[in-house]
Amino acid sequence: MGVVNVTPDSFSDGGVHLGAEAAVAAAVRMVDEGAAIVDVGGESTRPGSDGVSLDEELRRVVPVLERIAGELPVSIDTVKSEVARRALGLGAVMVNDVTAFRADPELAGVAADHDAYVCLMHMQGEPRTMQVDPRYGDVVAEVAAFLEERLRFAVAQGVREDRICLDPGIGFGKTVAHNVEILRRLDVLLALGRPVLIGLSRKSSLGKLAGDPAATTGPLSASIAAAVAAYERGVTILRVHDVREHVEALAVARALA
């Protein structure tokens, strides 16, 4: 899954694809490079961010979706049912909701009506404050219980179970140690019986693990190492900014598996 952030403030690529032209070109390039899905988002969820209005989010993503949603396999990264409705109406095939249908429960029905694929992600707290002091008893058990509950909710709202993938939400209300624990015990999440999607690309935990305690992003080298480890542990979908490099690395990992 290639990331196309149509935002001025995303943590690693804010402003890069803010114009519709640049975002469209990035999406086309990512699919050429081997992405199976492009995830288009108009609202940053980086730690500390406040969210954007419906009008502003639509203003950012609709011109991009009008150009690519019927042509490329597009996921819409949103927590708002109205944005999802517009995106799916324009031909998007997937909804990626970092609140797992908690911010706007109507989103589940919109996804169901369009028979869309859905990603349900775990987050502790909200983006503005989630990295202040995240705490868990057993992070893996708590994330798994949450995802199982949200899976049941989505199915109860009419989303077909075979349309749903689950995401532990790396960096969303989690310390480096929490993120590492999740990756070490991915089998617990896989046992929920749905494909697991994971976003490790450029995340600050990887920069910290690679040796910079003050890192706010992670380098490509660390992103690829983490992606390969996650793939080998059973992750199905990797959400990444650098598609070509990940496709190459994963092709080699697969050949050696």
d(CA 19, CA 60): 8
From residue 24, give the alpha-carbon distance in Å to each of 61, 95, 257. Answer: 10, 18, 34
Q: Rule CB under 6 A: say whether 99 interacts with ligand HH2.
A: no
Whole-Å CA distances, 172 to 56, 126, 255: 23, 8, 32
* 194: contact with ligand HH2 by CB under 6 A: no
69/120 Cα distance (integer angstroms): 21
Catalytic residue among 86, 202, 203, 208: 203
Contact between 44 and ligand HH2 by CB under 6 A: the answer reads yes
Stretch binding ligand HH2 (CB under 6 A), from 9-17, 58-66, 139-147, 211-219: 9-17
Instruction: Note whether 170 binds ligand HH2 by CB under 6 A.
Output: yes
Contact assessment for residue 103 and residue 77, using Cβ atoms and an 8 Å cutoff: no
The answer to whether the CB of 118 falls within 8 A of the CB of 165 is: yes
Assess 199 for contact with ligand HH2 (CB under 6 A). Answer: yes
Any contact of residue 242 with ligand HH2 (CB under 6 A)?
no
Q: Which residue has the tokens 């859905």?
A: 118
Interface residue with ligand HH2, options 4, 5, 38, 228 (CB under 6 A): 5
Judged by CB under 6 A, the chain residues 120 through 139 that form the site for ligand HH2 are 121
Per CB under 6 A, residues contacting ligand HH2 are 3, 5, 7, 10-12, 41, 44-46, 77, 96, 98, 119, 121, 167, 169-170, 197, 199, 239
